[in-house]
Structure 1
Amino acid sequence: MKRVVVVTGLSGAGKTTAMGFLEDLGYFCVDNVPGIILEELLKLFLSSDLEKMAIAVDARSEHFSDPVEAIEKIKKRTNALIVFLEASKEEILRRYALTRRKHPLQRNDVGLEEAIEKERQILLPIKEIADFVIDTTKMTSHQLREILGQSLMNQSGGISVRILSFGFKHGIPMDADFIFDVRFLPNPHYVPELSQKTGLDREVEEYFKKYSLVDEFVNKIFETVNIAVKEYQRSGRRIVTVGVGCTGGRHRSVYIAHRIAEMLKKEGFSVVEKHRDLEKV
């Protein structure tokens, strides 16, 4: 089966890293493709022996054709996975300062900050139709590659659920579709013999089993996520990210996220379980 990935999003958000990763995976990569020639490119790809192609599309495409229309055509014809990369304005400014490169929309009368905001507005309609939105503000290149790998797991048309535990003190994951706050639950951090353990340890599991409130909340989260994921699946969405947060991201959020992941697996969903802040202090 032919596989197509469209990588789009803000300049400076990691498209070059993403395309390099896809090239390493054997994708035929084409960068900065104007929408006006995308249809011809697709025809060539579909009639060739190539199995995988990745296309990078950015705001410069608007000078040639409507990039949203072009991407919608690609998705309709090939069931392409649309990946949208973004980052905060401050982070993009920092990255441009380090690389000393020029923003593609920057002109003599358009400064860097203005160019970033202009690009964000141009690409907003594409973000709304993307299968996967990744905020790379606090990510390393390795982390971006890992998440991209997860996003490619179910390109055949099913849905993948990414369950992510985190600590609020380390920041909220901006790419999450749902955020559940479990900071109101009993905290094993204040039990001396449990403080250095994690939500994956048997002793912490036994601690939570003492509280019926924990089970009740786990079931409520599962019911909500299960309904939402099934609806997303019917509408063609292929990746859903669920964030579960406590204060530090080591006990409550890890335990709850793990339980939700196991429950979703029993429902037959493809699940990726990730504990972002497990090793942080």
Structure 2
Amino acid sequence: MSETTSTLQLRDPDAVHLIVLTGMSGGGKTVALRALEDLDFYCVDNLPTALLPQLVAAAGCDVEGKRRNVAVGVDVRNPGEDLQRMPAILSELASAGVHAHMIFLDCRDDVLIKRYSETRRRHPLSLKGLSLADAIAEERRVLRPLSSIADKVIDSSDMNVHQLRRLIATGYAEATEGLTLMFQSFAFRRGLPLDADFVFDARCLPNPHWDPTLRPLSGKDAAVRNYLDAQPMVTEYFADTARWLDTWLPRFEVDDRSYVTISVGCTGGRHRSVYLVEKLAAHYRALRNGVLTFHRELE
């Protein structure tokens, strides 16, 4: 079973939402947790199941008393009794008004073996003296009760880390307060991003590519930033873009939109677009939560 799209249906936007991330080691749980952390979830990995109610009670509100969503990672490193206790704990939380949602991150065995080979990481069950293939098989057996009760199963076999991060971010942005913004850079020569809500064309701006010392760098590097900061046309372009977004993004919030993707493109997708995406993201992070970035040609 696999999912390629993801939408969390929120029954009560004012309640605390708990997302339990579980699944195969190497399937992408850490990547998913980081994506939820970017959406202002309070995230904890490898938490004992018995502590879930206390965590939700303690972290479900921030210091100002505002609701905060919680995400926890649970996997084969947890004791067996922990995993067996999970259905009862989730039922207890539901009775207390918490909206719990379990995601199971799956992956084909051959892909898991390849990932472990490439990263040279040790499988959590390898300490029992099992071969990698046997450890994966044992992990599937141990986690089968959780996969059977998961609200969503995501097969990450054919995804890279950035695609998985975007899938989680786009699917669960609805669980955050306000509008979540994804700023992404891209190269026009490789085509428009299919998921873009707005596209800005930065090809009219001075191009660092033509400076041999800047060509190998990206818009994240200080030398490129300094070069573009010194260009009046770039300053004007950024100000006009931010002004336009400041005017129109609130209209999407009024319309109950939960997620908007703003794409900025240039010729190669390495310098001008990356610079503008980082600058726009920094501008909006000072004003709101839930601001993400993705650089298609760098990642």
Using the size of structure 2 for normalisation, the TM-score is 0.48
Aligned to 1:258: 278
* Identity across matched positions, percent: 31
Separation in 2, partners of 1:179, 1:211: 22
Aligned to 1:248: 268
Whether the aligned pair in 2 keeps the contact of 1:226 and 1:264 (CA below 8 Å) is no
Aligned to 1:232: 252
Whether the aligned pair in 1 keeps the contact of 2:183 and 2:293 (CA below 8 Å) is yes
- What letter is aligned with 2:286? K
Report the CA distance between 1:265 and its aligned residue: 1.5
Separation in 2, partners of 1:252, 1:216: 14
Q: 1:266 to 1:157 in 2, by over 3 A?
A: closer
Aligned to 2:4: 14
Whether the aligned pair in 1 keeps the contact of 2:176 and 2:290 (CA below 8 Å) is no
Structure 2: segments with no counterpart, 5+ residues? 9-19, 24-70, 74-92, 104-157
1:158 to 178, 185, 196: 178
Q: 1:15 to 1:156 in 2, by over 3 A?
A: closer
2:250 is paired with a residue of what secondary structure?
helix
Q: 1:240 to 1:176 in 2, by over 3 A?
A: same
Separation in 2, partners of 1:141, 1:210: 36
Report the CA distance between 1:278 and its aligned residue: 1.8
Aligned to 1:148: 167
Whether the aligned pair in 2 keeps the contact of 1:164 and 1:242 (CA below 8 Å) is yes
Aligned residues: 166
Matches within 5 A, 1:35-184: 51-53=99-101, 140=159, 142-151=161-170, 152-153=172-173, 155-184=175-204
1:244 is paired with a residue of what secondary structure?
strand
Structure scoring higher RCO (CA < 8 A, sep ≥ 6) equals 2
Aligned to 1:273: 293
Structure 1: segments with no counterpart, 5+ residues? 1-11, 28-44, 56-138
Separation in 1, partners of 2:223, 2:163: 33
1:249 is paired with a residue of what secondary structure?
coil
Using the size of structure 1 for normalisation, the TM-score is 0.51
Q: 1:15 to 1:180 in 2, by over 3 A?
A: closer
Structure 1's consecutive aligned runs of 4 or more residues displaced over 6 angstroms after TM superposition are: 45-50
Aligned-residue CA RMSD (Å): 3.2
Report the CA distance between 1:206 and its aligned residue: 1.5
Deviation track 1:220-277 (CA, whole Å, cap 9, x = no partner) reads 1111112221111122111110000001110000011111111112222421011111
Aligned to 2:145: none
Separation in 2, partners of 1:163, 1:143: 14
Aligned to 2:232: 212
Deviation track 1:108-160 (CA, whole Å, cap 9, x = no partner) reads xxxxxxxxxxxxxxxxxxxxxxxxxxxxxxx8364442113223255133211
- What letter is aligned with 2:165? E
Separation in 1, partners of 2:289, 2:251: 13
Matches within 5 A, 1:195-210: 195-210=215-230
Q: 1:13 to 1:174 in 2, by over 3 A?
A: farther
